[in-house]
Structure 1
Amino acid sequence: MTWEVFSIIGTIAFAISGAIVAMEEEYDIFGVYLLGIVTAFGGGAIRNSLIGVPVSALWGQTVMFQIALVSITLVFLFPHKSLTHWNRWGNYFDAVGLSAFAIQGALFAVKLGLPVSAAVVAAILTGSGGGIVRDLLAGRRPLVLKHEVYAVWAAIAGVIIGMRWIESDLLLYTLFVVITALRIISYIYKWSLPFKSLKPTIIKNK
């Protein structure tokens, strides 16, 4: 039941996130639906292909596809004036999707009896895979590849679940809230990981 709840939360959040990005890039209605669906299910497809689960298993999730389509439709029909600040809201929905799918992916790996390393990989790929595909299709540099703190939160969720440190539903929902909050805080305050630039330094003449 917990796995299904996180699947629904992640599907709604990432479908909305993909639709918002598509509208920001001025895609037509087909592009909005396509990017929303790809964002919602891309991470699961990548995860399945790496841990040995047939990607075709996604086609059996009829209810999830219906939920994604309804979510995208509602966003598309939202009044235009109310979408002016949705660049920020898109990042908030992305944070919810990252957290929900990271936990769902890790739980999926644990359910299959895979080691901790697999749970971490499943959490990262499920949590950020859809966003990577979304950003690439939108012509943007994926968040996970920036120095911005993003996939680290998914990895932390994967370690916690993979180590079986928490198993009760209440603690899993608490972890979901914590990971979502950390991602939003890192976005608001622009936390970043250490990085090194190889671009030549440009010295401006005074």
Structure 2
Amino acid sequence: MSWEWLNFVGIVAFAVSGALVAIEERYDIFGLYVLGLVTAFGGGIIRNACIGLPVGDLWKQEMLIYAALIAITFVSMSPSLWLKFCRKWLNFFDAIGLSAFSIQGALFATGKHLPLVAVIFAAVMTGIGGGIIRDVLAGRKPLVFQREVYAFWAIVSGVAVGLKWVDTPWEFYFLCAVIVTLRMMSTALKWHLPGRLVILKNKASR
């Protein structure tokens, strides 16, 4: 049940995130649905390809596809005032998707009894893959390639699941809430990972 719930939450959150970005970029209705769907399912497709699961398993998630389509339709039909409100919460939807998908990806890998490094990789790719595709299609610099603390939280999820620090459904929900909180804190407090240019600059100043 924990896996199914996390999967549903991640799909809906990322579908909404992709739809909101499409509206910001003034995409037409087709572009809105495409961006919403690739954001919701892109990470899972990349994960499956990397850890040996059939990519065609996507089509077995019929109810989740319908859930994503409903979420996208809801966003597309919402009044402008509500959309302005939602844009302020874009990072929150993104954080929910990142958290839920990274945990779900790690669970997939542990289910196949893969080593810790593969569990972390599956968590990261599931958590950030859809967002990367979304940003590329929207003509934006992918969030994960900037200095924001983003993919790091997916790594934390992978480590926690891979080392079995969490095991029960409620522990998975708690981990999901913690990752969302940390992601929002890193956004609000403008936490950054160091970049190469920053390191070189610091050395030059000594």
- Name the TM-score, length of structure 2 as normaliser: 0.94
**For each residue in 1:108-165, what CA deviation from the matched residue of structure 2 results, as whole angstroms up to 9, or x when unmatched?**
1001111111110000000000000000000001111111000000000100100111
**For each residue in 1:64-85, what CA deviation from the matched residue of structure 2 results, as whole angstroms up to 9, or x when unmatched?**
1000000001111111122224
SS at match of 1:20: helix
SS at match of 1:84: helix
Distance 1:53 1:82 in 2: 39
Structure 2 residue aligned with 1:33: 33
Structure 2 residue aligned with 1:151: 151
Distance 2:154 2:36 in 1: 21
- Name the TM-score, length of structure 1 as normaliser: 0.94
Distance 1:79 1:85 in 2: 10
Q: Which amino acid aligns with 2:123?
A: A
**For each residue in 1:157-181, what CA deviation from the matched residue of structure 2 results, as whole angstroms up to 9, or x when unmatched?**
1001001111011111000000001
Q: Which amino acid aligns with 1:55?
A: V
Would you tell me which structure has more helix in proportion to its own residues? 2
SS at match of 1:197: helix
Structure 1 residue aligned with 2:67: 67
Structure 2 residue aligned with 1:184: 184
Q: Which amino acid aligns with 2:155?
A: A
Structure 2 residue aligned with 1:42: 42
Q: Which amino acid aligns with 1:140?
A: R
Structure 1 residue aligned with 2:120: 120
Distance 2:195 2:25 in 1: 28
Structure 1 residue aligned with 2:94: 94
Distance 1:185 1:75 in 2: 26
Q: Which amino acid aligns with 1:146?
A: Q
Structure 2 residue aligned with 1:76: 76
Q: Which amino acid aligns with 2:135?
A: D
Question: 1:197: Cα distance to partner?
Answer: 2.6
Distance 1:44 1:74 in 2: 23
Question: 1:13: Cα distance to partner?
Answer: 0.2
Q: Which amino acid aligns with 1:4?
A: E
Distance 1:165 1:106 in 2: 12
Question: 1:59: Cα distance to partner?
Answer: 1.0
Structure 1 residue aligned with 2:163: 163
Distance 2:184 2:106 in 1: 21
> CA RMSD of the aligned region, Å?
1.2
Distance 2:29 2:7 in 1: 25
Q: Which amino acid aligns with 1:130?
A: G
Distance 1:69 1:18 in 2: 12
User: How many residue pairs get matched?
Assistant: 199
Distance 1:159 1:73 in 2: 36
Unaligned runs of 5+ in 1: 202-206
Runs of 4+ in 1 over 6 A off after TM superposition: none
Q: Which amino acid aligns with 2:106?
A: A
Structure 2 residue aligned with 1:204: none
Confirm whether residue 51 of structure 1 aligns to residue 68 of structure 2. no
